[in-house]
Amino acid sequence: MDIQAIVSLDRTKCAVQCNSKKRILEIISGIAAQNNPDIDEATVLSSLLSRERMGSTGIGNGIALPHGRLEGLDHVIAIVVTSSPAIDFDAIDNKPVDIFFTLLVPHDQTEGHLQTLAMVAGKLSDKETIKTIRKAQSNDDIIRALQ
Whole-number Cα distances in Å, 52 to 4, 58, 122, 145: 26, 9, 21, 27
Q: What whole-number distance in Å separates Cα of residue 2 and Cα of residue 134?
A: 22
Radius of gyration of the chain (CA): 14
* H/E run at residue 122: helix 110-124
Q: What are phi and psi of 8, to 5 degrees?
A: -155, 155
67, 75, 107, 113: the active-site residue: 67
How far the first Cα of the chain sits from its last, in Å, is 13
Sign (positive or negative) of CA dihedral 135, 136, 141, 145? positive
Nearest one of 34, 57, 79, 63 to 134, comparing CA atoms:
63
Is 67 marked active-site? Answer: yes
Q: Which residues are catalytic?
A: 67
